[in-house]
Structure 1
């Protein structure tokens, strides 16, 4: 088991998928899912819906993940609290959320694999 370097890292999400906005993955092609991503080069997380979380690596690449199973507390504009082990975020790493105006975090959820989405050339 990996030892935690940071016990919890709170990242404020910014929901960009609101009525009238386009899908941020619409002009991108999915690559092969990976187990871990380097968090130092990624912005995010951005909660899209109860099954989708995006991390933006650059203008070219967006990583898509979501919870393993159901994570009822996952909603756009919530804050995600991630338990980080080393410099990577990996499948099965735990996270919780805090809703706007609340101070008590949700129960734990776990990440799925991370799928890269790159812009079409």
Structure 2
């Protein structure tokens, strides 16, 4: 099965802060887990694009998944839209995505996802 799913980034909150600071802010207080190859796209609130190397998926408020492109994806930056091709019902490493710039109708060349590293807030005692 082949589905194209477009996710609009929720990057407005990162405009006023540098990319590395934005990533640290999102991941502050969270503990990194073992990287996974796939995540359930229906259990995630669309991506937040931090910079050209970092995409965050919010799984449930307690867990974020950090990923990015394999190699360079020059068009990837905050305020762009990801057009993701999901082929297996899950969002997986090496799945293809393209980037759509605001105000344009032609997407970028294809990019591929890396593994997804979970970052989880520790349970309160």
Give SS of 1:24's match: helix
Q: Give 1:54's aligned residue.
A: 56
Structure 1: stretches of 5+ with no match in the other structure: none
Give SS of 1:116's match: strand
CA contact (8 A) 1:50 1:72 kept: yes
1:63 aligns with 2:65: yes
TM-score by length of 1: 0.91
Q: Where is the strand percentage greater, Structure 1 or Structure 2?
A: 1
Q: Give 2:35's aligned residue.
A: 33
Match of 1:11 among 4, 7, 22: 7
Q: Give 1:76's aligned residue.
A: 78
TM-score by length of 2: 0.88
| Alignment partners' CA distance in 2, 1:13 and 1:64 | 14
Structure 2: stretches of 5+ with no match in the other structure: none
CA contact (8 A) 1:40 1:87 kept: no
Number of aligned residues: 117
Residue deviations 1:56-97, cap 9 Å, x none? 011100011000000001010101000011320000000001
| Alignment partners' CA distance in 1, 2:81 and 2:87 | 19
> CA RMSD for the aligned pairs?
1.4
| Alignment partners' CA distance in 1, 2:79 and 2:102 | 7
1:24 aligns with 2:31: no
